[in-house]
Amino acid sequence: MKFSFSGRYVGYNRKSFQKDIISGLIVGIVAIPLGMAFAIAAGVKPEYGLYTTIIAGILVSLLGGSKFQIGGPTGAFIPIIFAIVMQYGYENLLIAGFMAGVLLFLMGLFKLGAVIKFIPRPVTIGFTTGIAVTIFGGQLANFFGLENLEKHEYFFSNMKEIAKHIGTTNMYSILVAAICLITIIVTPKLLSKLPGSLVGLLVSTAVAATLFPDKVATIGSTYGAISSSLPSVHFPTFTIDNIQSLIKPAFIIAMLGGIESLLSAVVADGMGGSRHNSNRELMGQGIANMITPLFGGIPATGAIARTATNIKNGAVSPISGVIHGIVVLLVLVLFAPYASRIPLASMAPILMVVAWNMSERKEFVHILKTKSGEALVLLTTFILTVFTDLTMAVEVGLLLSAIVFIKHMSELLIVSKVLPDHSAKNDQVAAHIVNDEHDCPYISIYTVEGALFFGVANQFEKSIMDEIDHEPKVLILKMNNVPYLDSTGEANFANVTKRFIKQGGTVVVSEIQNQPQQVIRNTHLDQFIGPENFFGNTGEAITYSLTKLNKSHCLGCQHYAFRECQLRSNPSLKEAVDLEILESQLIK
């Protein structure tokens, strides 16, 4: 029994299949309570979470770009899905999910997998921690068994609602939730092979059903009985109006889904020694999110915790992810009626633990300790995620990150006037050599260090323009430390060179790197400067520049900026030197 296609099943055999069965079975058991809990927290029926776990889980494993990725509903989507359901309704959530799938597929098709990785870490940590706080706060009502709460789209309104109804606290709910929470915490320490969330769910449900039935709200009493079969295929109604209104939610679902799936794939690479294909992963996630809504499922992505569980339990191939989906399907068909008896208070601790684990609290504190611009980005993204919405948080977070980056990069630009240091090896140029008594009035050399982009281009131009006002004859620009030149930087660079040349000077460029040189070639600025004025060595550029000066320029100059200056300043010295050489030869 061997597979050879795609390279993902090379050497696959009966033993590999047995390992995949074991890991798939364990991950499937872990996924059942999480699938229902995520759906309930997102404001939809629990079975929709199971449908998503089954369909998306199988499709992501078969079509994705990671060998061990487990797909399904995740905690990160809870606030987004909840907000969409509150604002647009469940039917439109399906449309938004489908549109997000299309976007994800296109992102993979056009090879944008690497682009998502460039989202700054303070932004991802900020919104992940914000989502964790939102999830945790959203479970307080079920934990305390509060009644008659009105659901709101925003976190602050929901917290006010909880405070308003705190008097309806149900002590039985607290007891059930506490039993579940303690079991979740203790189980990994005593029985490491068993999933704590499932054990906690079973124990707390058994206690509630046995000791005080009908005293706490259950899935059945709140959402009705869970169907034991998959729904029929249903195509949502697409219109121009709902597509236009849902493009923003769809985009944020796609973006978050892409980020989380690729982060999960990276974790899987590190744990399993594999290497994922980011673009294929996005395409697989896209197809899964296009098909899942047709069965009533909610948005899905790669689940880091379940993927890690899959690898830890010996998964060998994507078959384990397929088996995980089949396990959930069998449980749905065989045990759905019993799931209706699960208390909502039992679901709350499961999500609270998920929120605690996804909060990135250590990374959050670590970034805050830097007391830098990144800390501001982190806090802003976190606060906006909790008190507004993820779309606003990410947009502002990215904007602030760009501003911080530009500020940092602008501080790195150094434009220095330099001269050769004759005491250094190879007469390397240095800024400390330049002073009022030691400077060439006719040849100005500047080293430019740092990227020349829109954030610093004016600073560069101003630094050189101040020198142009002194009207030297030659301007040498040493650019070996300029790795990047954008269109704004090129425009300012052109302003400097064109003005200097128009007033009768010569611009010489030395040691320019490939990217800036290509930009200058594309705009034909190199032709204006003169191809003969580009040198790979600054020493050669200086020698060439000296030929551009009239002998009268150097007569009597006492600056001696270059080795040639003494002879050019006092031509008679050359005759004396020549005579000394001749006399020494005659003596011999």
Considering the chain, what is the average pLDDT of its residues? Answer: 89
What's the pLDDT score for residue 550? 82
Residue 584: inside a domain, yes or no? Answer: no
pLDDT per position as a tens digit, 38-83: 999 999 999 999 999 999 999 999 999 999 999 999 998 999 999 9
Q: What ranges make up the beta strands (E) of 94-169?
A: none
Phi–psi pair at 452, nearest 5 degrees: -100, 95
Counting the structural domains of the chain, the total is 2
Q: How far is the C-alpha of 398 from the C-alpha of 404, rounded, in Å?
A: 10
CATH number at residue 438: 3.30.750.24
Q: How far is the C-alpha of 211 from the C-alpha of 62, rounded, in Å?
A: 45
pLDDT per position as a tens digit, 361-390: 999 999 999 888 999 999 999 999 999 888
pLDDT per position as a tens digit, 397-413: 999 999 998 888 888 88
Q: Are residues 431 and 291 in the same domain?
A: no
* pLDDT of residue 584 exceeding 60: no
Q: Are residues 278 and 388 in the same domain?
A: yes
Of residues 576 and 349, more confidence is placed in 349
Confidence of residue 576 (pLDDT cuts 50, 70, 90): very low
Mean pLDDT value of segment 26-38: 93
Structure tokens at 298: 């909610």
What's the pLDDT score for residue 154? 87
Inter-residue contact 447 to 418 (CB < 8 Å): yes
Q: How far is the C-alpha of 281 from the C-alpha of 296, rounded, in Å?
A: 23
Inter-residue contact 39 to 207 (CB < 8 Å): no
Mean pLDDT value of segment 514-521: 95
What's the pLDDT score for residue 343? 95
Inter-residue contact 59 to 291 (CB < 8 Å): yes
CB atoms within 10 A of CB 109: 12
pLDDT per position as a tens digit, 198-222: 899 999 999 999 999 889 999 998 8
Residue 340: inside a domain, yes or no? Answer: yes
Inter-residue contact 458 to 489 (CB < 8 Å): no
* pLDDT of residue 187 exceeding 80: yes
Residue 102: is it exposed, middle or buried by C-beta count within 10 angstroms (0-12/13-18/19+)? middle
Residue 4: inside a domain, yes or no? Answer: no
Q: How far is the C-alpha of 327 from the C-alpha of 54, rounded, in Å?
A: 8
CA nearest 118: which of 260, 259, 301? 259
What's the pLDDT score for residue 438? 83
Q: Are residues 193 and 146 in the same domain?
A: yes
Residue 293: inside a domain, yes or no? Answer: yes
Of residues 105 and 463, more confidence is placed in 105
Q: How far is the C-alpha of 497 from the C-alpha of 485, rounded, in Å?
A: 15
Residue 587: inside a domain, yes or no? Answer: no
Q: Are residues 216 and 351 in the same domain?
A: yes
Q: Are residues 214 and 259 in the same domain?
A: yes
Mean pLDDT value of segment 430-444: 86
526-536 exposure pattern, b = at least 16 Cβ within 10 A, e = fewer: beebeeebbbe
* pLDDT of residue 3 exceeding 70: no
Confidence of residue 580 (pLDDT cuts 50, 70, 90): very low
pLDDT per position as a tens digit, 387-397: 988 888 988 99
Q: How far is the C-alpha of 137 from the C-alpha of 146, rounded, in Å?
A: 13
Tell me which of 401, 428, 454 is where a domain ends: 401
Q: Are residues 396 and 446 in the same domain?
A: no
- The span from the first CA to the last CA of the chain, in angstroms, equals 94
pLDDT per position as a tens digit, 281-312: 999 999 999 999 999 999 999 998 899 999 98
Q: How far is the C-alpha of 524 from the C-alpha of 518, rounded, in Å?
A: 10
Mean pLDDT value of segment 167-183: 96
Inter-residue contact 505 to 477 (CB < 8 Å): no
* pLDDT of residue 573 exceeding 60: no
Residue 132: inside a domain, yes or no? Answer: yes
Q: Are residues 503 and 564 in the same domain?
A: yes
Residue 3: inside a domain, yes or no? Answer: no
What residue numbers bound the domain in which 488 lies? Answer: 413-577
Q: Are residues 369 and 459 in the same domain?
A: no
Structure tokens at 275: 């290497």
Q: Are residues 394 and 454 in the same domain?
A: no
Q: How many residues does the chain have?
A: 588
Q: Are residues 431 and 483 in the same domain?
A: yes
Q: Which residue has the tokens 């040639």?
A: 564
Pairing of strands 534-535, 506-510: parallel
* pLDDT of residue 579 exceeding 70: no
pLDDT per position as a tens digit, 128-143: 899 999 999 999 999 9
* pLDDT of residue 577 exceeding 50: no
Cα distances (Å, whole numbers) of residue 285 to 55, 70, 104:
11, 11, 7
Structure tokens at 26: 């364990």
Structure tokens at 115: 């682009």
Q: Are residues 299 and 422 in the same domain?
A: no
Tell me which of 380, 401, 422 is where a domain ends: 401
Q: Are residues 388 and 456 in the same domain?
A: no
Coil, strand or helix at 121: helix
Q: How far is the C-alpha of 155 from the C-alpha of 138, rounded, in Å?
A: 8
Torsion over CA: 66, 70, 76, 80 (sign): positive
What's the pLDDT score for residue 1? 36
Q: How far is the C-alpha of 545 from the C-alpha of 443, rounded, in Å?
A: 7
Confidence of residue 561 (pLDDT cuts 50, 70, 90): confident
Tell me which of 401, 425, 455 is where a domain ends: 401
Mean pLDDT value of segment 452-473: 84
Which of 34-38, 104-108, 299-303, 555-559 is predicted with the least confidence, judged by mean pLDDT?
555-559
Structure tokens at 145: 């068994």
Which of 1-5, 159-163, 449-453, 480-484 is predicted with the least confidence, judged by mean pLDDT?
1-5
Q: Which helix (H) or strand (E) holds 478?
A: strand 474-481
Structure tokens at 20: 């995949």
C-alpha count within 13 angstroms, C-beta hemisphere, residue 93: 26
